[in-house]
Structure 1
Amino acid sequence: MDTPQNTALTRALTELPGPLPARGVIHIVIPHTDRFTVVGNHLAQHAGLSTVAVGLAVRIQSLPQGTEIGIKALAARFPEGEKLIAAALRELEAHGYLRRAVTNLPNGRIVTRTVFCNQPAALLRPRVVAQRPAPPQTPPPVQDPAPEAAAAPQAPALPDVQQEQAPEAPAPQEQEPEAPEAPAPQDHAPFVARVPPPTAPRQPSPPLPQPRELTAELDRAATALLSDLRRHARQLVLSEYDIRQLAPAVAAWLERDTHPDTIRHTLTNDLPQPLRHPAKLLKHRLTVLLPPPLPGADDLAAPARPRIAVTPFQTCDGCERAFRAPTPGHCRDCRNAHSPAQAAA
């Protein structure tokens, strides 16, 4: 019997827009409407987690609250053994996705609670708790005057000068604003974003290196080297404009006695996949990886040691004892012995 073909999958491939890649995975994305779980790429593409740990984390994230996820409970569901599941749980615990804590219940029992966080990196960011607005205060209802007060005769009005003014109610004192509460001490360092925001000013790119003198021989060799790159890496197909722009930089490398094979290996080694802008990549590598000029023979010579002046030995004219002095004469003892005699004379 022939192998049945999935005609629906083949039909879906023909409906994909744009050209399909020659190799690698091809995604057919159909939006979910029910029974789905959102999984972040930080987990699905985690470089430090094994495939078993990633799959186990996705399964745990899809389970409802209160589901047992102990080692024995997971081993009863999956074909993996207890040792492999225990190792995967330890990986998730080491990377912050899982936490197991022992808790004492009021009845005296000791249980282990397992907490799973779908995005542990978000817990490191400082969170601001929004304050709820105070509910509007309803004014008290106005009460009707008592019947006795309504039936009592009103006093005649006095002149404006003699009328007694009722004492004004004291103005409500303004309450001092409460000092903001000090933030609770954090057990960990605050989250620091390593990626600059899109609005951050960009550093200007360094200029392409230029040779001291672009001779016709250097220009011809640099142009030939750039034109020949597509034989070694088919992604590096450059236009004539790109070659004219990059030729002085390659000439600067050749001027510094860099072998053409070394330049070719630097420009074609470990290319990103896919390569969208080959000229920009070559410009970056030619600028950042430019080697220094070769040192000359004088630079490689050992530095000369400084000469130290040594005082020569002299023979004392009086006692014929050796002593150090720049000129012949008497030693210190003879000079001290002759000094009192000369002073007396």
Structure 2
Amino acid sequence: MDTQQNTALTRALAEVPGPLPTSGVIHVTLPHTDRFTVVGNHLAQHPDLSCTAVGIAVRIQSLPQGAKVGIKALAAHCREGEKRIAAALRELEAHGYRRRVRDRLPSGRIITRTVFCNRPAALLHPRRPAEAPPQPAKPEPTPAPAPVPAPVQEPAPAPVCLPMAAPPAPEVPVAPPAPQPTQPQVSLPVPPSPAPLFVPRVPPPTAPKAPRRPLPQPSELTPELDRAATAFLGDLHRHAPQFTLSEDDVRRLVPGVAAWLERAARPDAIRRALTDDPPQPLKHPAKLLAHRLTELLPPTPPGVDDLAALDRPRPRFTVTPFQTCEDCDRAFRSPTPGHCRDCRETRAAYAQAAA
């Protein structure tokens, strides 16, 4: 039998505009009338998202408001396992498509809402409202021409011997120019700026950090303690080369080392506590030494009275031994052998009845 031809597909290919490509995909685009979801190419062709993440994003966009989009809810309707779905959701959250927002209800309960944005780039660069196009200016009416006064003929001077000044020309009233119609100024309403589609909730500021504890100080910085602490800090770079200190750092850290030495700490123990397991790379050795001198300060050694209290004998408590009842062989506590309480009550009742 020959290969069966799909006439509907053949007609659809014939309606594709332009010449068909010899290789690659050929798109047969049929318009949707219902049950469709608009997906942007920024998501469908995202260079950093996996195909699983893109598919999960399209699945979430197609769901109605209020639908469950947790890991277990998606795994119940998808073939992917919970681990792949969780990894895809982390990818979408890293690129801004999925966000989780903590909100407080009027009852005081705090809930976590899952918000999915189909265009996260638009939240970072919101589109400005389109400005109204400038309206063409209305042509101003041509003002009416002012009437031109008729020329005034001066009278001929009289034939006299002496010249006489010509009489002043009579004032002719000039009509004022016609008032120009003023165009009323119409203030265009300014469209209100649209509210952003998604307002990220900034977490409340954290509590202010507690001030740093000061460097420990010895009860009295004697010359012996000062020399011993200075020699210890100056020799520290031979045991740990990354802890090379300047002279100012040594003078600033001397009281802290003196406080350790005053508390009967041995130099090798101090060196291990200060230089073991430093961060890599070590940028500020003096700051690290100041922090460890403050936070790892050993306690004050106990005095003679405290040690004597440890050696003092503890008081002993008398323990009543167990005895065995002579009648019922029941064990009971008593300093002397005899009968248990029940047997004593039974013997007392018999004695009272016999009397």
Normalised by the length of structure 1, the TM-score is: 0.39
- Of structures 1 and 2, the larger Rg is shown by 2
